[in-house]
């Protein structure tokens, strides 16, 4: 049996032992779904990797997918898909203590510990070792299943450069109202509109602006979303996403469910390179997937037709 698969002192074998070699990248990914100070998260582990889920009032849900390919080592021994709860802020702050700027910090995660803790240990130094335990809990409720389904045979979606999407949503805070999102095929465009203390409309026109990089819509679609939930999808967008600016994809599903997807690059760093003057250089990156699901507002007095043929 390998040392990583060692039995715990109480005689139990952990469900999961894994190692990651870019802690800061994982911190960035998890921070992207941290839209308020105190948040509970549910972590689901499987043979495919880890999924962290946070939600609010069953109207907003954020997910971070850390696939097993992101880990330098991934040993999974459980049956099914165990879940445990913890504070998202505590988890992010704990991981941050293992991160060293400009260096690829490697840590080992092990679950469960003798008392169902999540155990973390630094593994990239022979001189010192950082060790942490995070107490977990049984989730009081299971995460809401958004059951996202496309509308019709043609998915309604658009992709906007990430920096432009964040800037647009930040600007929409001024009207102080919910946001009306409209897609129309002729002319092909995406419109965000806020009406409250004042009116503000932001248009992305397909083929006339470089910010709208993809557009798929065959009919008029219009839904209204609560601003604070829409803002949460971009409020903590990592700087690496803004720098790469590769695009964030938005898809409108059945009943107006909005899915927003970001890609976070987890670039690996090496301490030195014989042909480089810098002390660290980027190796080929890997991707963490971030998804948000936002329910539309429902107003019984609103007779507006959401879909027009």
> What is the structure's pLDDT at 288?
93
> What is the structure's pLDDT at 150?
79
**Cα–Cα distance, 218 to 155 (Å, whole number):** 9
What CATH number does the domain located at 156-268+286-294 have? 3.10.150.10
The tokens describing 262, both together, are: 């970001």
The mean per-residue pLDDT over the stretch 156-178 comes to 92
> What is the structure's pLDDT at 153?
76
Count of other CB atoms within 10 angstroms of residue 183:
24
- Which residues of the chain form CATH 3.10.150.10? 156-268+286-294
Provide the pLDDT confidence category of residue 142 given band limits of 50, 70 and 90. Answer: confident
The mean per-residue pLDDT over the stretch 45-58 comes to 94
Provide the pLDDT confidence category of residue 137 given band limits of 50, 70 and 90. Answer: very high
Helix (H) or strand (E) holding 178: none
* Mean pLDDT across the chain: 85
Percentage of the chain surpassing pLDDT 70?
85
**Cα–Cα distance, 241 to 263 (Å, whole number):** 7
Provide the pLDDT confidence category of residue 4 given band limits of 50, 70 and 90. Answer: very low
Q: Helix-strand-coil percent breakdown of the chain, rounded to 5? A: 15, 40, 45
The mean per-residue pLDDT over the stretch 67-74 comes to 93
The mean per-residue pLDDT over the stretch 156-182 comes to 93
Asked whether residue 266 carries a pLDDT value surpassing 90, the answer given is no
Count of other CB atoms within 10 angstroms of residue 185:
16
The mean per-residue pLDDT over the stretch 212-216 comes to 94
Asked whether residue 101 carries a pLDDT value surpassing 50, the answer given is yes
> What is the structure's pLDDT at 168?
95
Burial class of residue 45 in the structure, from the number of CB atoms within 10 Å of its CB (0-12 exposed, 13-18 middle, 19+ buried)? buried
CB 257 within 8 A of CB 230: no
> What is the structure's pLDDT at 145?
80
This prediction's pTM: 0.86
**Cα–Cα distance, 165 to 167 (Å, whole number):** 5
CB 197 within 8 A of CB 189: no
> What is the structure's pLDDT at 234?
96
Provide the pLDDT confidence category of residue 8 given band limits of 50, 70 and 90. Answer: low
The mean per-residue pLDDT over the stretch 180-202 comes to 93
The mean per-residue pLDDT over the stretch 43-66 comes to 95
What CATH number does the domain located at 16-135 have? 3.70.10.10
- Which residues of the chain form CATH 3.70.10.10? 16-135
Provide the pLDDT confidence category of residue 275 given band limits of 50, 70 and 90. Answer: very low
Sign of CA dihedral 269, 271, 276, 277: positive
Residue 133 Cα distances to 95, 109, 113, 117, angstroms: 11, 10, 8, 6
Asked whether residue 31 carries a pLDDT value surpassing 60, the answer given is yes
């Amino acid at each position: 049996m390998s040392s990583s698969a060692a039995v715990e002192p109480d005689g139990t074998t952990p469900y999961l032992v894994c190692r990651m070699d870019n802690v800061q990248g994982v911190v960035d990914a998890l921070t992207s779904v941290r839209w308020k100070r105190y948040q509970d998260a549910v972590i689901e582990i499987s043979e495919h990797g880890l999924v962290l889920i946070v939600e609010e009032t069953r109207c907003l849900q954020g997910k971070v997918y850390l696939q097993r390919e992101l880990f330098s080592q991934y040993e999974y021994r459980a049956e099914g898909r165990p879940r445990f709860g913890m504070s998202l802020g505590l988890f992010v702050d704990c991981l941050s203590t293992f991160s060293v700027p400009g260096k690829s910090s490697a840590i080992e995660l092990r679950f469960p510990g003798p008392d169902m803790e999540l155990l973390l240990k630094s593994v990239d130094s022979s001189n010192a070792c950082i060790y942490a335990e995070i107490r977990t809990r049984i989730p009081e409720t299971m995460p809401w299943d958004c059951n996202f389904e496309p509308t019709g045979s043609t998915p309604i979606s658009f992709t906007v450069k990430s920096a432009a999407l964040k800037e647009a949503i930040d600007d929409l805070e001024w009207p102080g109202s919910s946001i009306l999102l409209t897609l129309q095929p002729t002319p092909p465009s995406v419109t965000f509109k806020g009406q409250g203390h004042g009116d503000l409309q932001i248009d992305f026109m397909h083929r006339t602006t470089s910010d709208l990089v993809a557009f798929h819509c065959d009919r008029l679609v219009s839904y209204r979303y609560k601003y604070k939930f829409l803002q949460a999808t971009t409020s903590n967008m990592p700087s690496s996403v803004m720098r790469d600016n590769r695009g964030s994809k938005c898809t409108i599903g059945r009943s107006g469910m909005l899915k927003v997807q970001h890609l976070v690059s987890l670039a690996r760093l090496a301490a030195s390179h014989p042909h480089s003057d810098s002390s660290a250089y980027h190796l080929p990156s890997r991707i963490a997937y971030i998804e948000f699901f936002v329910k539309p507002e429902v107003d019984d007095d609103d007779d507006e037709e959401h879909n027009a043929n």
